[in-house]
Amino acid sequence: MRKDKVWTLNTVDMHLFGRLINLVYSPVTLARFLKDGMLDHENEELRERVSALEKKVHQNEDEMLCLKSALADALRRIASLESGRTAGLTNNVLPSKPFKPQPRRVSSAPVSAADSRSKRAGSVEQAFVTRDTAPPQKRAPTPTPKAPPSPSPTSLKKWSSLSSAEFQGGNLQMSRSFQSVTCLTDKTRATDRKAMAHRRKETTFNKEEGYLRMYLRGRPVTLYAPTLEEYDLAKKEDQPPQSLKLEWVYGYRGRDCRSNVHLLPTGETVYFVAGVVVLYNVEEQIQRHYLGHTDDVKCLAVHPDKITIATGQVAGHDNKKSSRPKSAQHGKGDPSTAPDHLPHVRVWNSVSLQTLHILGLGGDFDRAVCSIGFSKADGGQLLCAVDEGNEHTLSVWEWQKGEKGHKITETKSSTEPVVASEFHPLDANTIITCGKNQITFWTLEGGTLGKKLGLFEKHEKPKFVLCLAIADNGDVFTGDSNGNIFIWPRGTNKISKALTGVHEGGIFSLLFTKDGHLLSGGGKDRRIVQWDATGLTQTGEVEIPEHYGAVRTLTQGKGNMIVVGSTRNVILQGTLELNFNPIVQGHVDELWGLAVHPNQHQFLTCAYDKKVFLWDALSHSAVWSKELEVPAHCACFHPDAQVVAIGTQTAKWLVLDLTSREPVYSHTDGNEQIECAEYSPDGKYLALGSRDNHIYVYSVDEEGKKYSRVGKCQGHSSFVTHLDWSADSQYIQSNSGDYELLFWNASSCKQITASSSMRDVQWATSYCTISFNTCGIWPEGADGTDVNGSSRAHKADLLASADDYGKVNLYRYPSTHIEAGHRAYGGHSSHVTAVRFLHDDSRLLSTGGKDAGILQWEIL
């Protein structure tokens, strides 16, 4: 046997050997090995020492378990000290990205204890010196260690065979059959790692070193407190004294919803966006908001009294796939215990904004409520609703019975989508529904629904019946995807008259006006056509401009005015003789970009719909809009407010002149999305965080119109999510997708590895969600994606965060304790993507992702 493959054990090194072996194998396995493999071949003195060691191992299992982490921590500290001494720095604490040792491949050949110890220390030390003294490079994926073969039952019992362990000259020699227990020890080590990981999850604060260690998705993040910070981890932060009040909502949901714009007798136009129902008085420029919903509002109906309103919503974040409990489907659900994130209908008063009744909290609806309607012939005693389940269940409710109403009946409507449902205004017990491949006439008798399908007979059956309207004489008019208008006489399910091909593409809306005309709104051709309701001859038409989108819904406005909701989330008002002008505008696709003007009450938004809007927060209107060539993701104003930089999904970024709205500079960095962009406070630099893990830094001249590349910050191992500039424009701090907090010298683009040296730097903003002053916005056990953005008030007394659950949260600043006290506000239905304070801290702005809504909050 070669000498370099022999482990020697003498009485002097017994204790050290025991510790070293315990780092690799469990205490129980060690005891079995020493007892069964050594005692038969060692003298009486060694026998007694091993017996004592075995007892000590069993008595100190927990301490032995902690020895591994203690040794690793000591090695990291030594490495950090060595690197700090080499660089002439004073940092002696761990960097923000902790070392994660690679899985150890067990060698088949024994190694000496000294060699093993030196190699293990050297590998850890080398990894940490590399991390602290040079920006980390992108590492190739580590190959997964091969699992050892399953041991035989005999090999797991004990190692008494001389083939497993042989003594030569009083020394212990281990042969290759030592690997027979690898499976057992690997399992034990895995158990130990799980136990230690469980213990490490709690946030800790090191008073001596002055750093906080929190965990995101199980990964430790080290954050350094300011030098003079008196920190108590057990302290509970109170809510801020300030609060938020929703002042204005920008946007409208017309891209995928129908019949959702109505005029009330109060002069208010009611519509919805995200989880907010808006009541907007156009003349007085005042909005009121109903905020009772917990997620996307999908449909709206106005009661015949013109005061009561019903709105239906989708399932909450955790219930979109299957929101209907089996017990509820069989009539056994308890509505009193059902949460309000289930799809439901809320009936509320439009004057007081008070909720009157909530229908469906017992799991009566599946996925979402897509269409609702009040009865008309009986004064609105009943309400019908259709959900978006696989069977599109139609249910009828006595909505005024109790707080949760009373469901009279329900029935399977269709396996195909249903887009509209309405009570007949003259026949109290008749309901009409329409959708894909069908129009259905329902009769409510004796608590059950009878069904008659519409017969198209000689007419081509359309793929979709998209809308319906009922004339004063009770005839039903329908518009379909072929551009046809069919007339179904009252009481029948057959077509009596047809106007074919009156629109190119589908007809999305039909409306009978006050003066007796019929209006039809086309989707593809964007035309509104006026018809004489008696002779059905065309009497006029108008085309909606292309940038406003196609007609989605038509409703009667004041006097002879017509209100139009479009597929590009615009609400227009006008007449066929006059032009239609927008009264509500908004984004159509996912919205991430938000930037505030440095000295005016204005802000800019950009989204994946390629649109850029500059908004005025006082007049609540769009100052201008521009369409780009590519989808936009982020934006920032130059401190001089002459230009704005916009990052896109295609790695291109451009600079727009705010006066001419024309690009003055554009460039492409990398080939992935620009995630964030910020000008330095002095306006001399622009930093762009990319999804390719790099930060690109440019020098800025000529009031933001000339750019020269300074360099590229390399060091993040995942995409850059947020960045902040220091108040003196010298440094950058940045977060990444794998929860890093790194620091950079802006002029050289070099990483500052001594994180503790940055603890007292003053930062101009607090957009980085992972930092000492913002760590309180994270809940305990957060997975790292719960918070999408943050912003600090200019007075440095408030901190706002945008989370993944549709909430805008308000904290005191700084927020340095996990799960700090805060105020949470709903309204967004999707993940909130960004929050920003206006320049004077009078208002807070928030943007929704998928809901594409912009909410303006007044700070009280």
Last residue of a domain, one of 453, 488, 519: 453
pLDDT tens for 636-658 read: 999 999 999 999 999 999 999 99
Amino acid sitting at position 160: S
Separation in Å, CA 838 to CA 491, 531, 727, 777, 849: 59, 49, 18, 21, 20
CA proximity to 250, closest of 543, 621, 516: 621
Neighbours of 693 (CB within 10 A): 20
**Quick one: pLDDT at residue 198?**
42
Same domain for 655 and 799, yes or no, is yes
Contact 280, 271 (CB under 8 A): yes
Distance CA 360, CA 840 (A): 44
Does 164 reside within a domain?
no
**Quick one: pLDDT at residue 229?**
72
Check pLDDT > 60 for residue 27. no
Distance CA 704, CA 317 (A): 42
Q: Could you tell me the CATH number of the domain that includes residue 302?
A: 2.130.10.10
Does 701 reside within a domain?
yes
pLDDT tens for 222-243 read: 999 999 778 888 888 999 999 9
Does 348 reside within a domain?
yes
Does 795 reside within a domain?
yes
pLDDT-based confidence at residue 63 (cuts at 50, 70, 90): low
Backbone torsions φ then ψ of 45, nearest 5 degrees: -65, -45
Average pLDDT over all residues of the chain:
81
pLDDT tens for 490-527 read: 999 999 999 999 999 999 999 999 988 999 999 899 99
Query: Residue 725's domain spans which residues?
Result: 588-859
Check pLDDT > 60 for residue 170. no
pLDDT tens for 651-677 read: 999 999 999 999 999 999 999 999 999
Last residue of a domain, one of 453, 471, 503: 453
Number of domain units in the chain: 2
CA atoms within 13 A on the CB side of 146: 5
Distance CA 270, CA 350 (A): 9
Distance CA 767, CA 765 (A): 6
**Quick one: pLDDT at residue 750?**
96
* 3-class state of residue 512 by DSSP: strand
Distance CA 348, CA 345 (A): 10
* DSSP classification of residue 240: P
pTM of the model: 0.76
Last residue of a domain, one of 453, 479, 505: 453
Identify the top-confidence range among 128-142, 148-162, 277-291: 277-291
The DSSP-derived string for 108-150 is SS---HHHHHHHHHHHHHHHHHHHHHSPPPPPPPPPPPPPPPP
pLDDT tens for 80-126 read: 666 555 444 333 333 333 333 333 333 333 333 334 333 333 333 33
Distance CA 680, CA 706 (A): 15
Please name the residues in contact with 73: beta carbons below 8 A apart, sequence gap of 6 or more.
none
| Buried b / exposed e along 240-253 (16+ C-beta atoms within 10 A) | beeebebbbbbbbb
CA atoms within 13 A on the CB side of 144: 3
Amino acid sitting at position 828: H
**Quick one: pLDDT at residue 341?**
84
Does 849 reside within a domain?
yes
Does 222 reside within a domain?
no
To the nearest 5 percent, what fractions of the chain are helix, strand and coil? 15, 35, 45
Does 382 reside within a domain?
yes
Mean pLDDT to the nearest integer, 20-43: 46
Please name the residues in contact with 422: beta carbons below 8 A apart, sequence gap of 6 or more.
373, 384, 431, 432, 433, 468, 470
Distance CA 654, CA 626 (A): 13
pLDDT tens for 200-228 read: 478 899 998 999 999 988 889 999 999 97
pLDDT tens for 1-10 read: 333 333 444 4
**Omega of the bond leading into 149 within 30 degrees of 0 (cis):** no
pLDDT-based confidence at residue 599 (cuts at 50, 70, 90): very high
- Containing H/E element for 355? strand 355-359
**Quick one: pLDDT at residue 79?**
67
User: What percentage of the chain has pLDDT greater than the value 70?
Assistant: 75
pLDDT tens for 388-441 read: 999 999 999 999 998 999 999 999 999 999 999 999 999 989 999 999 999 999
More confident residue, 316 or 336: 316
Does 419 reside within a domain?
yes
